[in-house]
Amino acid sequence: MTVFKGYLLMTRRKIYTLAVYIGIFIFVCVMIQASLGKMLPQEGFSAYRMKVAVIDRAGNAVSQALCGMIAEKHETVDVADDPQAIQDVLYYRDAEYVLILPEDLKERFADGRQAVERVTVPDSTMGFYVDQQVNTMLNQIRVGMAGGLSEEEACEEAARLAALPGNVTLYDRNGNAGQLPAHNYFFRYMPYGLLGSVIWTISLILMEFKRREIQRRMQSSAVPFRRLNLAAVCSFFLIGLAIWAVCVLAGVFLYGRNLLPDRNLGWYLLNSFVFMLVALSLGYLCGILSQGTAALNGFTNVVSLGLSFLGGIFVPVEMLGKVEMISQFLPTYWYAKINDMLGNYQTFAKEQLALLAQGLGIQLMFAAACLAVTLAIRRVQMQERDSSAA
């Protein structure tokens, strides 16, 4: 009991460091959520509008119809009819697509050849979006003229058809109009805060207990090694539980209106709680291996940032590419995968429930493996101290 109280006393002395890490985590989450709120549409569906520059060298009915369609569906950009000006506007991303309507547009169109020219940003696939719209309108004009309409009448009919709105029905599978709820982003970045605060706090406490006078006092006591480890694990569990509770309460304070009615709230809490156990095991291991504040700072940054980047916390899982093969061995990968599922669905099929259980199980096994390795290293360290003291 004395050792257990000693760990808690050390925690009180490190409370300010703990508060700094949790504060940084909450600040990062709020800023990211604010930026995403500006980027994403709040409700309904809206077609993507590209920055398109149009150079009309033809000046006939077909080219005017194409210019009108582009102006209605996209954001038009003025550019001089000069190769250097076109390269500059694409290089600086002032435009993503440059549509050139040549002087012989009418002849090309009549002969069935490629009627227009286009220049896009290198390695960009968004140009196919505009290509499809241009080709669709040209085909509609061609069909109208084949049906007996004049060129002007066919262009007017094609423009009318292009202006018709599409019937879009959003499938609301997560109860949030098909978009990720705001609190999903909060829980997405929670591992970074848990890793940083838990590893730093626990490691600093363990470094205090590594002091020579404290080590000698513990070795001379009648408390067995198993009870010493049990006291450390229990005290660290309370510390981690307190940090996890503070993070969850911060989420309730910031997003309680949407978080509390969420049907997946229990899963969010369970996923973050299990990852808290992972952070505790990593913090225990880093504290055992650290020999000074400089080494501890390196451990904290490498582990928290490394797992966050490689595990899909800072970078979406679908963007990891070949790195995903390695990321599947990391607990942050499974945390992020579960968090993405919770944001996209409210009800789960049997296969999805199995994936949830698999992700939680892998995190628990990772935590157990880290704890076992830590206890083994600590036993070896204590045996070495005993032999050196003898």
pTM higher than 0.75, yes or no?
A: no
User: Could you tell me where in the chain the CATH 3.40.190 domains are found?
Assistant: 51-163
- Could you tell me if 179 and 8 are in contact, meaning their C-beta atoms sit under 8 angstroms apart? no
pLDDT of residue 221: 60
pLDDT of residue 312: 83
Q: Per-residue pLDDT tens for 7-59?
A: 677 777 777 776 776 677 667 766 765 665 454 444 555 677 889 999 999 88
- Could you tell me if 123 and 80 are in contact, meaning their C-beta atoms sit under 8 angstroms apart? no
What SS3 string covers the chain? CHHHHHHHHHHHHCHHHHHHHHHHHHHHHHHHHHHHHHHCCCCCCCCCCCEEEEEECCCCHHHHHHHHHHHHHCEEECCCCCHHHHHHHHHCCCCCEEEEECCCHHHHHHHCCCCCEEEECCCCCCHHHHHHHHHHHHHHHHHHHHCCCCHHHHHHHHHHHHHCCCCCCCCCCCCCCCCCCHHHHHHHCHHHHHHHHHHHHHHHHHHHHCCHHHHHHHHHCCCCHHHHHHHHHHHHHHHHHHHHHHHHHHHHHHHHHHHCCCCCHHHHHHHHHHHHHHHHHHHHHHHHHCCCHHHHHHHHHHHHHHHHHHCCCCCCHHHCHHHHHHHCCCHHHHHHHHHHHHHHCCCCCHHHHHHHHHHHHHHHHHHHHHHHHHHHHHHHHHHHHHHHHC
pLDDT of residue 41: 46
Per-block mean pLDDT, blocks of 10 residues, the chain (390 long): 67 74 70 57 65 91 90 91 91 90 86 86 81 90 88 89 76 61 83 84 77 61 66 82 88 83 90 93 85 76 86 78 83 92 84 92 94 85 61
pLDDT of residue 2: 64
Q: Per-residue pLDDT tens for 203-220?
A: 877 777 766 666 666 655
pLDDT of residue 164: 83
pLDDT of residue 324: 81
Quote the CA–CA distance of 21 and 26 in Å, as a whole number: 9
- Report the topology of domain 51-163: D-Maltodextrin-Binding Protein; domain 2 (3.40.190)
- Could you tell me if 53 and 77 are in contact, meaning their C-beta atoms sit under 8 angstroms apart? yes
